[in-house]
Amino acid sequence: MLKDISGISAGIVSSAENYADNVILGANRGHGFAAEKANHLHDVLTGKNATVVGGNNAKNGADRLVNGVHIQTKYCSSGSKCIAETFENGRFRYWNADGSPMLIEVPSDMYDSAVQAMQERIKKGQVAGISDPNQAKQLVRKGHYSYAQVKNIARFGTIESITYDAVNGIKVAGTAMGISSAISFAVAIWNGEDWEIALEKACYDGLKIGGIAWVSSLLTAQLGRTGIEQSLRGSTDWVVKQMGAKTAAWLANGLRSGNNIYGAAAMNHVSKLLRGNIVTGVVTTFVLSSVDFVRMFNGKISKAQLFKNVTTTAVSVAGGTGGWMGGAAAGAAIGSAIPVLGTAAGGIIGGLLGSLAAGTAASAVVSTVLDQLIADDAKEMLKIVEQLFGQLAEDYLLSEIEAKSVIDEFQQRDLAGTLRDMFASSDRLEFARAVLEPLIEKRMRQRQQIQLPFNQAVIKTTGTIIERLAVI
């Protein structure tokens, strides 16, 4: 768990950023933002040079820049309404810096009616510098999605929204996978593993942590479309207010890309990040603990052990995430002052160090406390195994070498799984006997065959010993 905490923490922080960016989809007019984001994602995935530029809130500015073309996205309930939104006081209001009209993107199923509506506007002389209605097709762009599709993307639990979040979560999974693989590879090499073995372990760990991050990202993004966002807002806003504007700006600018933000904008961004971290942390803890829940329901671990495992996981996740955020912000600040290092690299290095330190410390503290309160199921099972083995060792007259061999083979099994199965057994002592006796009997079959001495040899040797004793 501890060697995975940095990858998990990176995934949580990335998911929180994703949550903060996409939580607006759950707003009353969220389908408009869904249209922008979904069309942007499609352009990126199809190899276009696409950037979202609407975040600057410039009046009558573009939403997106695709292959050098500025685009304003309008998704309304009809083609004519989409076009009507681009006019103010009877005049077209979206213009590029060179004076040319901006491209208007509309739902795929409303393209024809939107072009017709634009033609009518041109005929009325409402688009300055353009008099030919046929040019309407050059001003209107057919979006990649229909109006119904983007409305579903903005809703919780629809096929469209789950698909969008699944694709969007690939980047989050990639970040977590890369960090986890790098750490796993380094640890394996430091432990003396061969290069090929280290690489195999790194790939396995990367896939595992990347998968956890992907699932957590998808679930978190879906929850952002529910009432959870509103229920947490008051609490996170209060926390950010206690931080103050300077601390909020420091965190916001250390954890995001793009131009620096300050004041209310920074505080609002950090509040959204905190809500994202809370939701993602809970979701990730649930994903990581899901196997333990199944084991508890199957009777393989106790409720006390489940509580202990989940609590330890939750504290480790929270500590690692907090450490990543603080470390990334500090690293980004340091990196910005070092040209060779840079903000991005500084943030990653700071996040790694922060998550490892905080996650390890948090896990150690909670494990120490819980160990005093709750005994592990495994320790209880091992006590039964130890007592039974001592009895069997006497019954089978095991030598020290034979006993060590049996113990070594027992430990080479899936020990954790065996002990969980033993816990779930109705007769744990008999379960342990069924595991140990075959191992002992296997070792006994390797014993050297003993041929007893002939009677004459026994008599002769006995006589010799008696003679010695008589002399004494």
Q: Token pair for residue 300?
A: 């393989």
Helix (H) or strand (E) holding 142: strand 140-142
Rounded to the nearest 10°, the torsion over CA 274, 277, 279, 281 is -150
Residue 219: the pLDDT is: 86
Q: Which of 167, 178, 281, 170 is nearest to 223 (CA)?
A: 281
Mean of the pLDDT values across residues 189-209? 83
Pairwise pLDDT comparison (308 vs 37), residue with the higher score: 37
Instruction: Give the Cβ contact number of residue 418 at 10 Å.
Output: 17
Q: What is the torsional sign of CA 179, 170, 346, 339?
A: positive
pLDDT higher than threshold 60 for residue 175: yes
pLDDT at 332: 39
The confidence score (pLDDT) of residue 414 equals: 80
CB atoms within 10 A of CB 466: 10
What is the distance between the alpha carbons of residues 456 and 3, in angstroms, rounded to a whole number?
Answer: 68
Instruction: Tell me if residue 95 falls in helix, strand or coil.
Output: strand
What residues contact residue 113 under an 8 Å CB cut-off, 6+ apart? 78, 79, 80
pLDDT band at 382 (very low <50, low <70, confident <90, very high): confident
* Lowest mean pLDDT, pick from 71-80, 185-194, 237-246, 303-312: 303-312
Best-predicted range by mean pLDDT among 69-83, 270-284, 296-310, 436-450?
69-83
Q: Which tokens in the block code for residue 442?
A: 């296997």
Residue range 149-164, pLDDT digits in tens = 999 999 988 999 999 9
3-state DSSP call for residue 52?
strand
Q: Which DSSP helix (H) or strand (E) runs through 183? A: helix 159-190
Site of tokens 């001003």: 139
CB 273, CB 266: distance < 8 Å? no
User: Which long-range contacts link 395-403 to residues 24+ away (Cβ below 8 Å)?
Assistant: 396/440, 396/444, 398/440, 398/443, 402/443, 402/444, 402/447
Contact present, 255 and 347 (Cβ < 8 Å): yes
Q: Is the pLDDT of residue 191 over 60?
A: yes
Average pLDDT of the residues in 172-185:
80
Tens of pLDDT, residues 55-106: 666 788 899 999 999 999 999 999 999 999 999 999 999 999 999 999 999 9
- Which amino acid, one-letter code, is at 229? E
444 residue type, one letter: M
Task: Give me the mean pLDDT over the 260-269 stretch.
Answer: 81
Residue 279 or 3, more confident? 279
Quote the pLDDT of residue 351.
41
pLDDT of residue 67: 94
263/448: higher pLDDT = 263
Closest by alpha carbon to 74, among 174, 165, 150? Answer: 150
415-436 average pLDDT score: 83
Paired strand residues for 65: 51, 70
Average pLDDT over residues 138-153: 94
- The residues facing 73 across adjacent strands are 105
Q: What is the mean pLDDT of the chain?
A: 77
CA distance 8 to 321: 8
Q: Tokens 């003679």, residue?
A: 467
pLDDT of res. 359: 40
- Looking only at the bridges linking them, the beta strands covering 103-106 and 69-73 are parallel
User: What's the full length of the chain, in residues?
Assistant: 472
Least confident of 31-35, 88-92, 188-192, 454-458: 454-458
Residue with tokens 């030598």: 399
426-472, pLDDT tens digit by residue?
888 888 888 888 888 888 788 666 565 666 666 667 667 777 766 65
Other C-beta atoms lying within 10 Å of the C-beta of residue 2: 12
- Per residue in 245-262, pLDDT (tens digit) is 887 777 777 666 666 778
- Residue entry with tokens 């688009």: 127
Q: Which of 88-102, 141-155, 201-215 has the lowest mean pLDDT?
A: 201-215
Q: Which long-range contacts (CB under 8 A, 24 or more apart) does 193-202 make?
A: none
User: What distances in angstroms separate CA 430 from CA 20, 229, 299, 378, 407, one per listed residue?
Assistant: 55, 52, 17, 16, 18
Angle at 163 between CA 159 and CA 167, to 5 degrees: 175
- Whether residue 353 has pLDDT greater than 70: no
Mean pLDDT of 202-227: 84
For residues 331-341, give the mean pLDDT: 40
155 HSE (CA, 13 A, CB side)? 10
